Structure 1
């Protein structure tokens, strides 16, 4: 059997892979080979227009075996901000892997060919440091299962919004990558889609001095759990919320702004919209609206209510 590894794109914050596999006791997964796909996903940060990562190798660690390594010819440059809403770009395809439980995945990075660009500075490129990226790589620890004679598709959820920081003082580069990754099984995920009336929200806020004005078109924040507490994005937040932040995009035909939060494991979520800027290195006092709880079902799209909600 063969396996392919892919890159995909959206945005999330949680780390780990424990929910993606079993203990390895299933005899059907303990011998032979299986087919598996991997992807990486993201959503854009405030001022970032390009986050290009040069991948040079993918490594998988079987629970009871040596690392399985897949070098890329030269390096594979991927602009993570091009990969949103479930779009994918393969890194390696049709390669066999031993069936069984795996405990770690690593992505090896070429930092010399990785960079970021900002909306505010056009085509200027800024260097991007990835600590240990060329030696041990970006790490995802935790169990995931590859069953024998079976195809299993995974997506690596890579949150650029939280991962890119602007270091102070003597730094290795203009920007630093502090990766926040998680792994999901594509058979166990669904999505949330909806629309936001940004024009109405902007008008309402401008007419009310007690409300903060909109600073940009805004984004929908996704939090784990029903009736979850809303919070800003902060690189120091260890709680895992918000799980995902999805910027809205104008739908010309309706004049509303649309969004899709994809690769969400089955379960309950809380979503809320904000049009205030959110610095991922500071505690920001952000105003939310349109907060609602939704259930996500695998392989289905859950439609959210229009924001702002009708009172």
Structure 2
């Protein structure tokens, strides 16, 4: 069953106990874990269907803990945006303590994608050689003893799906660009974009580049305050781009477009907007506007200022 974003009301003390109570002491203590999958939106695809066959977790000082699904769990990841998620495993018992890595197992033969400009063609997907049909996420996380810890894996289609430019037998490759969050530590950002005003201003400006045809823009979210916005470029050696880029939508057809950036850990973020297409790989820069700082608080939806900002 698809889940909407789940915020948990806990006191700071309770959260601290949960975070610190899972240290491995060799006593064989266990905890239970749940892992969901979500997606930071992409623009160029109309369907990205991925079939997950299992998930494996690596304790820092132990052997892999593996969960193989009886049937592949297959979802169009583009349905899992704006705080929606689907469960991979729920309330499974595992050794308590620190973990250093997880791996999502993927059945590439049952996975495919569809481009917006080629709606009748299914493109093949493959995992790069050496990944053992799995997508690895390295990084520390903690399973607390004698309690349940809920995590969400942000698949991030826009960064994970790349065009190999003829260097692979598959049309596209699924590369591991995953982000893991503890659901007790997250909030979200929502905001509005006055695309009609922005578009008309650019059409009459000699200084601003016009908005891309048929594209209504994206809100770019960066970790930290006062970040200078940059585009997404998967070829950069350093990860200096946005944490995610959220296409804005006009659900009510009133010219006011909205966005929601979900599963963000508490802290400071920079949000900016561009109505120009970002092809992920080009060094051509795009123009941003409405850049602002937003503070994310646990269990809270932070409201960003409307873009363009009211002066």
TM-score range, shorter chain: 0.7 to 0.9
1:111-165 per-residue CA deviation (whole Å, 9 max, x = no partner) reads: 1111110111113100011114872611111221111111111111221112211
By how many angstroms is 1:45 displaced?
2.2
Would the aligned equivalents of 2:181 and 2:265 in 1 still touch at CA under 8 Å? yes
1:239-272 per-residue CA deviation (whole Å, 9 max, x = no partner) reads: 3421111111113175310101111111111100
> SS in structure 2 opposite 1:38?
strand
By how many angstroms is 1:8 displaced?
8.2
By how many angstroms is 1:236 displaced?
2.2
1:250-306 per-residue CA deviation (whole Å, 9 max, x = no partner) reads: 131753101011111111111000010001111121110100011111111111111
1:22-47 per-residue CA deviation (whole Å, 9 max, x = no partner) reads: 796465x9642212111222133221
Distance (whole Å) between structure 2 residues aligned to residue 250 and residue 23 of structure 1: 45
Would the aligned equivalents of 1:7 and 1:155 in 2 still touch at CA under 8 Å? no
> SS in structure 2 opposite 1:96?
strand
Report 1:70-149 matches (<5 A): 70-132=67-129, 135=132, 137-149=134-146
Compared with structure 1, are the counterparts of its residues 240 and 298 closer, same or farther at alpha carbon in structure 2 (3 Å cutoff)? farther
Compared with structure 1, are the counterparts of its residues 53 and 186 closer, same or farther at alpha carbon in structure 2 (3 Å cutoff)? same
Distance (whole Å) between structure 2 residues aligned to residue 175 and residue 201 of structure 1: 34
By how many angstroms is 1:91 displaced?
2.6
Would the aligned equivalents of 2:32 and 2:148 in 1 still touch at CA under 8 Å? yes
Would the aligned equivalents of 1:109 and 1:134 in 2 still touch at CA under 8 Å? no
Would the aligned equivalents of 2:220 and 2:246 in 1 still touch at CA under 8 Å? yes
Distance (whole Å) between structure 2 residues aligned to residue 253 and residue 279 of structure 1: 26
Report 1:54-73 matches (<5 A): 54-73=51-70
Would the aligned equivalents of 2:22 and 2:143 in 1 still touch at CA under 8 Å? no
1:201 to 2:191 alignment: no
Would the aligned equivalents of 1:159 and 1:179 in 2 still touch at CA under 8 Å? no
1:46-78 per-residue CA deviation (whole Å, 9 max, x = no partner) reads: 210111111111111122222111111132212
> SS in structure 1 opposite 2:92?
coil
Would the aligned equivalents of 1:106 and 1:136 in 2 still touch at CA under 8 Å? no
Partner of 2:302: 302
Would the aligned equivalents of 1:126 and 1:175 in 2 still touch at CA under 8 Å? yes
Distance (whole Å) between structure 1 residues aligned to residue 129 and residue 90 of structure 2: 26
Distance (whole Å) between structure 1 residues aligned to residue 141 and residue 27 of structure 2: 13
Partner of 2:227: 228
1:190 counterpart (171, 187, 192): 187
Which deviates more, 152-161 or 236-245?
236-245
> SS in structure 2 opposite 1:124?
strand
Aligned length: 296
Partner of 1:288: 288
> SS in structure 2 opposite 1:161?
helix
Which deviates more, 247-256 or 272-281?
247-256
Distance (whole Å) between structure 2 residues aligned to residue 115 and residue 186 of structure 1: 29
